[in-house]
């Protein structure tokens, strides 16, 4: 079934993990897709022609605007944007100290596991600049194009259960909570233009970010869901495809949670 036939989609942070799964799912549903990623060479391996791939640093306005101009030219326009690019950690963000303290706790030491007091401005900004600022900058670029086209569109932001539960790093949880607020505000603003804006809240998913976590922590995270496992990227991609296309035509400002029952928010 090609629910997205004729649609022109851009997916950010799509060279691997959830982003690559989303790009492939949208393509399988009939969309022509522009794969954007900081690693342009790797992005080019995700989908064959007639799909496209472009290097894009979502932290920088010039890079974003250039990539979206390229995507528009290659695809003939933009109907769908999936803001997947995000970052869960950055140098100087205090997470090394946090994990070290957790390891000491597991050995019976009475210590505090802190991130906040160790998180530098650079560590904070390293996550915010990609996860929140990048989502806004890419949305702005896409909305400018969609508004000029005058045919509406669909934006799907990848948030996180951490943005609701606060069970992730402080900068990541804050950024994802802000993405949910941005989703709702943009949905209100853009409804008159026929542009729907929704979010998907994945739970813990088998991605490169989770591959870096200590095994004990991954096991604990998996045990926290009712299904006792991590999600597969394809399961998140299926939710995105629903919201991106006409099957989700009456959904805007909504958050679709796909977390195996880790929370019901």
Alpha helices in 94-232 (DSSP H): 95-106, 121-131, 133-149, 162-165, 170-190, 208-211, 215-223
Could you confirm whether 99 is annotated as catalytic?
no
| Per-residue b or e along 51-80, where b marks 16 or more CB atoms closer than 10 Å to that residue's CB | bbbbbbbbbeeebbbbbbebbbeebeebbb
Catalytic residue among 13, 172, 174, 237: 172
Q: Residues 115-123: contacts with CB within 8 Å, 24+ apart?
A: 115/169, 115/170, 116/170, 118/93, 118/94, 119/92, 119/93, 119/94, 119/170, 119/171, 120/92, 120/93, 120/94, 122/90, 122/91, 122/92, 123/90, 123/91, 123/92, 123/93, 123/94, 123/171
Measured between alpha carbons, how far is residue 45 from residues 24, 37, 40, 73, 227 in Å?
11, 11, 9, 20, 32
- Annotated catalytic residues are 172
């Amino acid at each position: 079934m090609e629910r997205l036939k004729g649609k022109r989609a851009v997916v950010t942070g799509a060279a691997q993990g959830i982003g690559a799964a989303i790009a492939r799912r949208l393509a399988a549903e009939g969309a022509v897709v522009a794969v954007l990623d900081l690693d342009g060479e790797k992005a080019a391996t995700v989908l064959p022609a007639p799909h496209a791939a472009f290097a894009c640093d979502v932290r920088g306005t010039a890079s974003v605007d250039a990539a979206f101009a390229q995507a528009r030219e290659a695809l003939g326009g933009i109907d769908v944007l999936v803001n997947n690019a995000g970052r869960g950690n950055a140098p100087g963000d205090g997470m090394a100290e946090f994990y070290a303290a957790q390891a000491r706790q597991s050995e019976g030491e009475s210590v505090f596991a802190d991130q906040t007091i160790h998180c530098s401005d650079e560590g904070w900004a390293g996550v915010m600049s990609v996860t929140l600022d990048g989502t806004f900058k890419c949305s702005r670029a896409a909305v400018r194009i969609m508004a000029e086209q005058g045919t509406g569109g669909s934006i799907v932001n990848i948030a996180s259960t951490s943005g609701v539960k606060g069970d992730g790093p402080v900068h990541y949880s804050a950024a994802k909570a802000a993405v949910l607020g941005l989703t709702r505000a943009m949905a209100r603003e853009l409804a008159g233009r026929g542009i729907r804006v929704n979010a998907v809240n994945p739970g813990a998913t088998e991605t490169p970010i989770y591959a870096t976590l200590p095994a004990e922590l991954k096991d604990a995270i998996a045990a926290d869901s009712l299904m006792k496992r991590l999600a597969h990227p394809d399961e998140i991609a299926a939710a995105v495809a629903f919201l991106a296309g006409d099957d989700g035509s009456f959904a805007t400002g909504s958050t679709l949670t796909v977390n195996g029952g880790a929370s019901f928010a």
